[in-house]
Amino acid sequence: MKWYNGNETGQIPGAFPEKWWEGAALFLAVLNYWHFTGDDTYNDQLSVGLEFQGGPNGDYWTSNYSRFLGNDDQMFWGLAAIQAAELKLPDVPDGNSWLSLAQGVFNDQKDRWDTTACGGGLRWQVYVYQSGYVMKNSVSNGGFFQLAARLYRYTGNSEYKDWAEKVWDWSASSPLLNNKTWNVADSTNMDDNCATAGNIQWTYNYGVYLGGAAYMYNKKWLDAVNGLLKRSFQNFFLAEHGFVMEDITCEPREICNNNEILFKGLFSSWLAYTALLVPSTYDTIMPKLESSIQAAAKSCTGNNNNTCGVRWYQSKWDGWTGMEEQISASNIFSCYLIKYEKDGKGPVTSTTGGNSESDPNAGEESGSSSEDKLKPITTGDRAGAGILTFVFVAGWAGLMSFMFLGG
């Protein structure tokens, strides 16, 4: 929280102007910290920032940031809002309820479901001038799936169930999610009708689908939960690094950016909630979390003030310093405390103690709702987006070559 200035005079509650989505990642960590420890020191700042960023339309899509945001950015705020409802953070008086804010994000994103190519799916970016406009990616679609699953579990409204199943089925029909091998790719391109995928491996891509399947949990979903868990353990908990969690794409070469440093912290919390929601996974998940927790603790010895590093598997501080490192470590430390929540605690629903006010039409009357619905795509749009995507993909390919070919 030392990196957060939103509670100071002249600052914007909840905002990191250059990296807006990270406010959601911070508040997700604070929610976990409060819930698992009972320490409400930061709850006032949490409530003010989380409600303020919901904006006048109650859908986390405000004019200050929306022109450069993607579906994934908005989705993370929706997940923070539904988590606030599930953990019974009191609604802000005279403000939008946590549940309605999550519903507002859902309503925006279902209106952006795109069938112009690939048979469906959410684009990564919302506007044609953004470089990822002709890409569909796992974190946007998996995040939308998880949001719908959590709204269904909380409210019992079958619309959310239908959408969760729709997004899951589309993902499994695309190169993003293989429901036989349980590989989760990072992205796919509309230019070839999503025939191929960028198969970079990230923890949070597995986590959004795993978490959604856990919130949907019944016997039907157990194979999905177990399949994604097994593949995640194979990919991100390597024997040569003591089975400590790592993002294999960037950590070994020390090239993780701030976004990527947050990924495994988010994944940690989705693992923890999976252990609570799907009891048969508890004894499988906890040893993996505990080995990573111990290593992460040994990484938090920097600068004589408990600064945490990135490469937990080194079991020492690696010289990295930043808010993102602290968020990820805080998330996994909170996960340790799930062992005290096995007896029916954890995320509530509207019938098991949740009392956040519902508004199924949240965001529907906003100016941004109509503005952001996809307009018919012209040839010029396709050409412009194609040029931007070519530049993006070329840069991405260069980065991958640098990483994997030793550039």
Give yes or no for residue 121 having a pLDDT over 90.
yes
Alpha-carbon distance 109 to 70, whole Å? 11
- The mean per-residue pLDDT over the stretch 132-145 comes to 97
Better-scored residue on pLDDT, 222 or 64: 222
Sorting pLDDT into bands at 50, 70 and 90, what band is 198? Answer: very high
- The mean per-residue pLDDT over the stretch 106-121 comes to 97
Give yes or no for residue 288 having a pLDDT over 80.
yes
Sorting pLDDT into bands at 50, 70 and 90, what band is 169? Answer: very high
Give yes or no for residue 212 having a pLDDT over 60.
yes
Q: Is residue 392 part of a domain?
A: no
Sorting pLDDT into bands at 50, 70 and 90, what band is 64? Answer: confident
CB atoms within 10 A of CB 351: 9
**Which string of DSSP letters, residue by residue, matches 264-285?**
HHHHHHHHHHHHHHSGGGHHHH
Give yes or no for residue 387 having a pLDDT over 70.
no
Sorting pLDDT into bands at 50, 70 and 90, what band is 345? Answer: low
Alpha-carbon distance 45 to 1, whole Å? 10
- The mean per-residue pLDDT over the stretch 347-367 comes to 88
Provide the pLDDT for residue 343: 59
Distance of CA 178 to the CA centre of its chain: 19
Sorting pLDDT into bands at 50, 70 and 90, what band is 62? Answer: confident
Sorting pLDDT into bands at 50, 70 and 90, what band is 370? Answer: very low
Q: Is residue 390 part of a domain?
A: no
Give yes or no for residue 407 having a pLDDT over 60.
no
Q: Is residue 321 part of a domain?
A: no
Do residues 99 and 144 lie in contact, with contact meaning Cβ atoms separated by under 8 Å?
no
- State how many domains the chain has: 1
Provide the pLDDT for residue 369: 41
- The mean per-residue pLDDT over the stretch 66-76 comes to 91
Q: Is residue 124 part of a domain?
A: no
Instruction: Locate 247 and state its tokens.
Output: 């993002």
> How many helices (H) and strands (E) would you count in the chain?
13, 5
**Average pLDDT across the chain, whole number:** 90
Give yes or no for residue 406 having a pLDDT over 60.
no
* Model pLDDT for residues 21-42, shown as the tens digit of each residue: 999 999 999 999 999 999 999 9
- The mean per-residue pLDDT over the stretch 391-395 comes to 43
Q: Is residue 286 part of a domain?
A: no
Provide the pLDDT for residue 66: 74
Give yes or no for residue 385 having a pLDDT over 70.
no
- The mean per-residue pLDDT over the stretch 201-229 comes to 96
Q: Is residue 238 part of a domain?
A: no
Better-scored residue on pLDDT, 147 or 341: 147
- The mean per-residue pLDDT over the stretch 59-82 comes to 91
What is the residue range of 49's domain? 1-97
Instruction: Locate 180 and state its tokens.
Output: 């036989």
Q: Write b or e for each residue in 279-309: b if 16 or more Cβ atoms lie within 10 A of its Cβ, otherwise e.
A: eebbebbbebbebbbebbbebbebeeeebbb
Give yes or no for residue 228 having a pLDDT over 50.
yes
Alpha-carbon distance 90 to 94, whole Å? 12
